[in-house]
Chain A
Amino acid sequence: NAGVTQTPKFQVLKTGQSMTLQCAQDMNHEYMSWYRQDPGMGLRLIHYSVGAGITDQGEVPNGYNVSRSTTEDFPLRLLSAAPSQTSVYFCASSYDAGATGELFFGEGSRLTVL
């Protein structure tokens, strides 16, 4: 079982460039989410989805877009990267739309914006 797979693991961007962080899960989880982790800030929710075709904003959504066209995939798009978006990004999924139970995390994507 692959679980939650994130790509790429590392990325360096220049200010203003765009990119997409990919997240895929093979557990048939309805709930998927993106977090960023910064020193001293813990994990902060960017966007989440409770099922295909449904997305919503979390605590820090500015500068990021998401879509959920399938149950398996939940990509995170940075349209115009800024140095403030330098962070470690985690995708996480959970069993049902009520988000009960534990979150399953991907291994993280370290993004540096110069």
Chain B
Amino acid sequence: EDKVVQSPLSLVVHEGDTVTLNCSYEVTNFRSLLWYKQEKKAPTFLFMLTSSGIEKKSGRLSSILDKKELFSILNITATQTGDSAIYLCAVEALTGNQFYFGTGTSLTVIP
């Protein structure tokens, strides 16, 4: 059964802290892994990863994929209250045209 597991389920940190969010997967015919940020409404795209070991960066956020160990991490440095959100990990399968989502990590950043 294809599945995506995220950890931790929730996290509370203080502004300025660095956090690491985890995503492990078991998906047949892996194509890509995507990270999304969801605040009050629709998820918004952060990163798409297809190759192992190549870090993607956007400001204070970065992500990397390990296709051998079947996981990805999302790092956020110098967290701000605006980073408070649910972070979703999704894996796209080559066959079946499906995206499999994890349950998300709820991040709360306290001033």
Contacts and interface: CB of A to CB of B under 8 A. Distances in A.
Interface residues of B, number: 22
Contacts of B65: none
Contacts of A12: none
A58 B97 CA distance: 10
Contact of A58 (B32, B94, B98): B98
Given A48-B97, A100-B92, A105 B43 contact: yes
Given A41-B103, A42-B88, A43-B88, A99 B97 contact: yes
Interface string B49-73: 0000000000000000000000000
Nearest to A38: B103
A50 B97 contact: yes
Contacts of A35: 101
Nearest to B42: A105
Interface string A77-114: 00000000000001000000111111111111000000
A104 B34 CA distance: 12
Contacts of A99: 31, 92, 97-99
B47 to A, nearest CB: 9
Interface centre among B4, B41, B42 (most CB of A within 10 A): B42
Interface of A: 31, 33, 35, 40-45, 48, 50, 56, 58, 90, 97-108
